[in-house]
Structure 1
C-alpha cells in the first residue's frame, strides 16, 4: 500500500482505486489484512485515515453522490434534535433510480426535481470529506412536510431549536415552505412557537 499512500484519499471506491491502477486482488488483500476497512459495498476507508465523525454518511455519499442528507439525519447534524435515526435518511430526485444499499441502513425520500437543491449545503463528515446536506432551515421545513410520517413532536422541537439559534431566519422558513408546498402548516407552527 505504500506506493499508493499519496494517491488514495481517506475514503475511496473500487472504481477510484482501479483508476489508480489497483488490481481488485490487491484491494481485497488490503481489506483482509486490515489496511483498509470496507464501509459499504465498494466503498473503502484507509485504516490510517483520521477518524471520521460520520462514516456511514461518507459511505452513502460515495454510493449515491447526488443524494442529500435530509430529515432527522440532517436535524441531528444541525443539532435540531436529540433523535438518532436507525438509518441514514437521504433525499434523491423523484425521477432518479432508487438506491439499494444493504449497509449502512438507508431511508430514501424522493423529492421533486425543481426544488431538489433548495437549501443545499455541506458538512465535514470526516476531515476534508464534505457530504451534501440540507441547511437547518430546509431541514425544519422538511420535518414539517413529513410530520405525519416522522412525528409532529420531532418537527415542532426542531422548529423551536432552530428559532433559538443565533441567526435564525423565520422568513427563510416561510420562503422554503412556500416553495415546497407546506406554507400553511409552517406558518401555523411559527405562530404557535412565537406565541410562547
Structure 2
C-alpha cells in the first residue's frame, strides 16, 4: 500500500485534515501514522488530526472536527460573516450547557455555554477563509449572542457589530426579533437598534 497516496487522497477530500479514524477506515493504523509523523512525512495538529507538510492547516476546520457539540459564535462568527475585519486572537465557540468540550478546544478557544434547547437556534454552515464549510451561527443569532455577552467581548467589538449589522443589506429584522425574544435580549436590542436604524 502506498500510504502517502492514500493520505493525500484523504487530505484532499477533508479540507487538508487527515483524521486517525478516517485513516483507519482506509487500512492505515495509528502506529503507521506515528511512524510517518516521526519521519516528518505528516505533521500532527492535535490528537487524532494530521496534515501533509505542504498543506496549510485550516485552523477553524480543525477545531470544528474535534467535536459535533460546538458551533462558532461571537467574534469568530462576526469574522466569518465579514462583519469584523479582525481575525480573532482566540476563536469563540458555543456549546450546550452540560457538555464539556475537550481540553484541546478549551486551550484554543473561548467557550460560551447556552441552554441545550437554544444551542441549534440559527445554526448554519459558513466557509472558512480556506474555503471549508464549518458550523457557525447565522448573522441574527450572532448579534443576539453579542448582546448577551456584551460585557465580555468589549464595547468596541459590540458597537461595531451592531452598526455593521444595521447597515447590512443581508439583515433580517423579523428573524432577529424572533431570536431576541427566545434569547431574552429584546429590550436591550431595541434600545440599541432604535439609535442605529
Q: What TM-score bracket applies, with the shorter chain setting the length?
A: 0.7 to 0.9
SS at match of 2:99: coil
Residue matched to 2:190: 187
> Higher helix proportion, which one?
2
**Which of 118, 123, 133 is the aligned partner of 1:115?**
118
SS at match of 2:88: coil
Of stretches 112-121 and 151-160 in structure 1, the one that deviates more from structure 2 is 151-160
Residue matched to 1:45: 51
- Structure 1 residues 84 and 167, CA gap change in structure 2 (3 angstroms): closer
Residue matched to 2:88: 85
- The answer to whether the aligner puts 1:69 opposite 2:75 as a matched pair is no
Deviation at 1:19, TM superposition (A): 2.5
Deviation at 1:102, TM superposition (A): 6.6
**Normalising by the residue count of structure 1, what TM-score does the alignment of the two structures yield?**
0.86
Distance in 1 between residues matched to 2:174 and 2:59, nearest whole Å: 33
| Structure 2 portions without partners, runs of 5+ | none
Deviation at 1:99, TM superposition (A): 2.4
Deviation at 1:84, TM superposition (A): 3.1
Residue matched to 2:22: 16
Question: Do the aligned partners of 2:10 and 2:18 also contact (CA within 8 Å) in 1?
Answer: no
1:8-54: CA deviation from partner (whole Å, max 9, x where unpaired): 543132222222221222212322344323222221123455x56xx
Query: Number of paired residues?
Result: 191
Of stretches 169-178 and 25-34 in structure 1, the one that deviates more from structure 2 is 25-34
- Structure 1 residues 159 and 128, CA gap change in structure 2 (3 angstroms): closer
Distance in 1 between residues matched to 2:146 and 2:76, nearest whole Å: 11
Question: Do the aligned partners of 2:61 and 2:134 also contact (CA within 8 Å) in 1?
Answer: yes
- Structure 1 residues 116 and 34, CA gap change in structure 2 (3 angstroms): same
Distance in 2 between residues matched to 1:25 and 1:184, nearest whole Å: 57
